[in-house]
Structure 1
Amino acid sequence: MESAIPLHLETTRTRHKRVPDDYQPPYPSFVARYKPAVNRVVMAYFGLQYSGAAPPGAMQALKDLAGLFAGEGGPSHWDRASYADQAGYDNVVTVAYWDDVTRFDAWFAPAREAWTGRVREGVGTFVEVLRPVVARHETLFSSLDRPEGVAVIADGMSGEVQEHAYWGGMRDRIPLSQTDAMAPGGSPELIRDGARLRVKAHDNLCLIRSGQDWSDTEASERKLYLDDVEPVLREGMDFLRDEGLAIGCYANRYMNVIAADGSASEKSYGQSWWKSLAALERWAESHPTHVRIFGAAMKYLSTLGPSAKLRLYHEVTVAAADEQFFEYLNCHAKTGMLAAVETVTA
């Protein structure tokens, strides 16, 4: 049994784990392992937004973005997903990952201007970037052989890890939690740059991407997931999207992954910005919407046991203030971290 925290990031604890050293989790889970030389990763969310039928410029913008990704310094991995937000706008979100910040910085300067520096009729664009040191980041996977998200750019997967299947495991997997409470500091501020709006968030902002892949399931398991689990998950995701601000969730997107050929896939993920890891933990542990998600998932897994083919994963980052960048052009006032700012006026 391994620790989720890699050996080179282990330190003398001043804050203790939620479980004793001899804790044995009830089922196996795994985490992504980066090469020790990787000090930071970059996760950049490029969003495109429109209302009604897709304007001609929308599809061209997505093609242009893919071209930027294929250019020098582009990401090691990217994927694309779509969703309808609380204002009824359609959004396409492309998330890209780097393990070399210098390469990203050189690539991002012109890419940013091409994405949020250019007005397109009927189209809003945004970019949301975190570039955390790896000590502020954790992952968790139910299986070894299909990494998703940031784990695709990792060196590989761990063996079975100890810190999971209990409340507090998410925090215990983040190396910084050994010595730091990771409490938030400050309030989000709006900065205007011509037509562009930037949000300066605050220290220890939290991001979670949490995904599901039912592409390997057979008919009976797929029906069980889509009939009994997914609707409960969607209800919780919609609550966070529409009412999450009151409990510390600035924004939530529940997205369907788009396959490489542009078709719909049998994958989805929720992606949300939180005031703090503690706020995310409170929702997960005690809010009725997540209690129902957890209950439906446990019933599903206990019914199927080891034969379950559903794959689950997540990645969580608690970012320092200087590791964040949020910028929006021609987007509605509840888009992403704009929702965290009290008033956004024209």
Structure 2
Amino acid sequence: MSESDEAKESTARIAIFPKAQGSVAVAIIGVQHLIVSLAQHSASHLSNLLSKAAAAPGSLERFSYTDSQGYHNEVFMAYWLHEADYQTWLKSEAVSSWISQLGLQDTDVGIWLEVMTPPIDQYQYGAPVVQKDGLATLGELAKSEKFGYWGGYRDRVPASAYDKFESPLDSMPDRKLKSTKGKRLTLQIPDNVCFIREGQDWSRAGDEERAVWRETMDEVVKSWTGILVERSGDSGTFNLRSMQNIDPINNSTLDKQTQVAFLLSLSGIEKAARTWKEHLQVHASLIKMFREAKFKPTMNIWAEMFILKSQDFSPIYINCHSETGLLPYFDVTEI
């Protein structure tokens, strides 16, 4: 995310969580199939489990995208302010029964669950307008001076006061494609993997602001996310998904989009952001958009980030293709 001086001086906000103690929980759950309608059909039951089961998430969002292997993915992101509530949901009869049967009924469908349970002080949210997104919908917004300079991401993470978040790995692990179809797999990440979610919400924007985004920002953002994947060895990008937000109730397309990425370390993406021309162009274009605006900006161009210790990440990949998520980078265990 690029942050303008104007955002710093006016309405920039972070998220605080007075009611949160210990760890939160975020579950990214995806259904993949080569046929769009079959992926959507398989996701319908999951939607009910997430919205109606005991201890349902405090915030639930839905997305869709087509991955590099041509599979259509229906994706849910579920947020719980307390990990204990997630565990209650997970252990409920309906959910535990569903998980135990995953992959056994239809071998053409892949299911993946990437569950993060970090302490709240390993999280940050930043937005240029007074609007909540992501985990911030379960907290409160507060003004902050930690915007408008390189390093703001890090400084907004409370744990950065005592943790440098250094990766134990000197470089990206080698990619190793594995036999994954027909299997239930898990893996273990190293400490200090960085998860970033960035979002662009133009649902409140007028025609002029939307036009400025299309003409000034859209292509440079796509160039930046594209180069992160293309140069994954340099950027430390394990996986990046660019997804369209859709309504979790009626499946209609929303005026929002999101990108989620797992990265080797925060320092790696910090270096790329301040030195690669693709991100410098994003930064310059965003500042220009704010400075030259003849309207009050209402678009929310926001980001949230978790720093994950090894024990904070619990993935399951069931009958997924070998390029799904973090599968190419780490040794897997069949479960």
For Structure 1 versus Structure 2, the TM-score category normalised by the shorter chain is 0.7 to 0.9
| 2:220 equivalent to 1:232 | yes
Separation in structure 2 between the aligned mates of residue 114 and residue 269 of structure 1, nearest angstrom = 28
| 2:159 equivalent to 1:176 | yes
Deviation track 1:282-309 (CA, whole Å, cap 9, x = no partner) reads: 1221122212222222222222166122
Q: Closer, same or farther in 2 for the Cα pair 1:51/1:238, shift >3 Å?
A: farther
TM-score (norm 1): 0.84
What residue number does 1:222 align with?
210
Contact 2:187/2:332, CA 8 A, preserved across alignment: no
Separation in structure 1 between the aligned mates of residue 285 and residue 113 of structure 2, nearest angstrom = 34
Task: Select the residue among 63, 81, 90 that pairs with 1:108.
Answer: 90
Q: Closer, same or farther in 2 for the Cα pair 1:64/1:218, shift >3 Å?
A: same
TM-score (norm 2): 0.86
Separation in structure 1 between the aligned mates of residue 89 and residue 156 of structure 2, nearest angstrom = 31
What residue number does 1:152 align with?
137
State the Cα distance separating 1:115 from its structure 2 match: 4.3
| 2:265 equivalent to 1:291 | no
- In structure 1, stretches of 5+ residues that fail to align are 1-23
What residue number does 1:131 align with?
117
RMSD, matched Cα: 2.7
Query: Structure 1 vs Structure 2: percent identity of aligned residues?
Result: 24
Separation in structure 2 between the aligned mates of residue 288 and residue 343 of structure 1, nearest angstrom = 36
Q: Closer, same or farther in 2 for the Cα pair 1:87/1:292, shift >3 Å?
A: farther
State the Cα distance separating 1:253 from its structure 2 match: 0.8
Q: Which amino acid aligns with 2:188?
A: K
Q: Which amino acid aligns with 2:133?
A: E
3-state secondary structure, aligned to 1:340:
coil
What residue number does 1:63 align with?
44
| 2:289 equivalent to 1:328 | no
What residue number does 1:74 align with?
56
Q: Closer, same or farther in 2 for the Cα pair 1:33/1:209, shift >3 Å?
A: same
What residue number does 2:102 align with?
118
Please, which moves more after superposition, 203-212 or 213-222? 213-222
Count residues with an aligned counterpart: 317
Q: Which amino acid aligns with 1:227?
A: E
State the Cα distance separating 1:61 from its structure 2 match: 2.6
3-state secondary structure, aligned to 1:313:
strand
Contact 1:45/1:129, CA 8 A, preserved across alignment: yes
Q: Which amino acid aligns with 1:134?
A: I
Q: Closer, same or farther in 2 for the Cα pair 1:193/1:254, shift >3 Å?
A: closer
Higher RCO by CA contacts (8 Å cutoff, separation 6 or greater): 2
Q: Which amino acid aligns with 2:160?
A: S
- In structure 2, stretches of 5+ residues that fail to align are 1-6
What residue number does 1:266 align with?
255
State the Cα distance separating 1:113 from its structure 2 match: 5.8
State the Cα distance separating 1:152 from its structure 2 match: 1.1
Please, which moves more after superposition, 169-178 or 66-75? 66-75
